[in-house]
Amino acid sequence: MFKGILIEKDDTGYSAQLKEIDESVLHDGDVTIRVAYSTLNYKDGLAITGKGPVVRRFPMVPGIDLVGTVEHSDNADYKVGDTVVHTGWGVGEVHPGGLAEKARLKGEWLVPLPEAFTPKQAMAIGTAGFTAMLCVMALERHGVTPDDGEVLVTGAAGGVGSVAVSLLVNLGYTVVGVSGRPEENDYIKSLGASEVLERSAFSSPAKPIARERWAGAIDVVGSHTLANVCSTMKYRGVVASCGLAGGMDFPGSVAPFILRGVTLAGIDSVMCPRPERLEAWQRLSRDLDASKLEMLSSEIGLSEIIPVAGDLLEGKVRGRILVDISR
């Protein structure tokens, strides 16, 4: 038995509880891990509250990412005592995840802990930070450089947004954040953003094309926000779209694409191929100012997960939420 959050669904309904979990709940995998830290991402909030159809197999341990120590391994690439990091691959959705003392995963999903980070720092980054890195890599791949002009980051006080702002600033970009929480403006500026715009400026239906401003953009919100971001991109600007915090629709026009040559780059961290995963962690080691991680993360224990998951979905939390599995 081990302690963790278990999501169950039966005739009485959907429930998430902290309880003692039987090992039989763990699925197949060739590496068993003693989890040290996990985190709360937006997707974990949806899974724990049941507000989104994230969990597709029951009972399920939520937690899409984790860092921990190998306890048992039938995989030649990992030995007992190794510290490993996991994000994505349907873990916490169809395969038991990180919000518990123990996880059993496939070795091919794991990444060795990058030397630049402690286990705690790796989870302060977690899925959200990894996704922010993939977004930055997409902007670069499509040719956006710091000399091209300002880069916009929506949901800037959230997990993906906070790490995206930090990364871009460290790489020399001029970054403008968008936030719906004026009380977090100083925080976003302390990460290095030059300006913070009010969320409402992006939430009305978008014109097909509007005054151009952004050389690049990272959007975690979707819906009208994404449409407004696209219509205000500069000629040949690039938008990395990774989130749906404001909605899954895209009520936009093709005008920015066919008149300004704007590129819309889709970002998925879950099934991201291993070579790009390893590259992204290497880039995080090099390009993220690790001293900012403390500022952009807060820590909770297993018993605090359920109430905080609700706050996360209501947009009330700042940056990244680390979960110390030992308390």
Please tell me the distance from the alpha carbon of residue 24 to that of residue 26, in angstroms, as a whole number. Answer: 5
Q: Within 10 Å of residue 299's Cβ, how many Cβ atoms?
A: 17
Nearer to ligand NDP, 26 or 196 (CB): 196
Query: Does 179 sit near ligand NDP (CB under 6 A)?
Result: yes
- Only one residue has tokens 């009972």, namely 59
By rule CB under 6 A, what string of x and - marks binding of each residue 115-154 to ligand NDP? ------------xx--x-----------------------
- Contact letters for ligand NDP, residues 67-106 (x by CB under 6 A): ----------------------------------------
Among 115, 123, 128, CA closest to 67: 123
- Angle, CA of 106, 97 and 280, to the nearest 5°: 65
Q: Using the rule CB under 6 A, is 269 a contact of ligand NDP?
A: yes
Site for ligand NDP in 218-237 (CB under 6 A): 220-221, 225
Residue 157: CB minimum distance to ligand NDP, A: 3
Q: Is 246 in the site for ligand NDP (CB under 6 A)?
A: yes
Number of residues in contact with ligand NDP, rule: CB under 6 A?
A: 32
Q: Name the minimum Å distance from CB 72 to ligand NDP.
A: 29
- CA–CA separation, 288 and 295 (whole Å): 13
| Residue 244 binding ligand NDP, by CB under 6 A | yes
CB closer to ligand NDP out of 103 and 128: 128
In Å, how far from its chain's centre is CA 275?
19
CA–chain centroid gap for 242, Å, is 9
Helices (H), the chain: 42-49, 119-141, 159-170, 185-190, 223-231, 255-260, 274-287, 305-313
Radius of gyration of the chain (CA): 20
Residues in touch with ligand NDP (CB under 6 A)? 41-43, 127-128, 131, 155-161, 179-181, 184, 199, 220-221, 225, 242-246, 267-270, 312, 315
